[in-house]
Amino acid sequence: MLQNAQTIRLYQKLTDAFVQMWNQGYRFDDLRLYLDGYLAALRHSSTLEPFHLHRLEEEAIRFLYDRSNFDIAYAATTTRI
C-alpha cells in the first residue's frame, strides 16, 4: 500500500494514463514499455526515494496485470446501442 502523498499522486497519474492508452488501442506490451520508461525517468530525476519508487513500481505492475482494471473501461465504452 502506498503511503507517501507524492507517490500516490504519481500512481494515480500513471494508472489514469494506462486506462486512457488502453482505450486508445494500446495493449499490455505497449503499457509495459510506457511503465518502464516512466520509472526510468523517475529514477533519473531522483524525484522519489528508492524505497518509494520500488513500491510505486510494484503497485503499478499489480494494476497493469489485473485485467479487471481494463475490462470495466472497455465494457463501459461498448455498451452503447
* Cα–Cα–Cα angle for 64, 24, 17, rounded to 5 degrees: 45
Average pLDDT value for residue range 38-58:
94
pLDDT at residue 30, rounded to an integer: 96
pLDDT at residue 76, rounded to an integer: 55
Instruction: For residue 47, name the pLDDT band (cuts at 50, 70, 90).
Output: confident
Locate 34 and state its grid cell.
510506457
pLDDT over 80 (residue 81): no
Average pLDDT value for residue range 26-45:
96
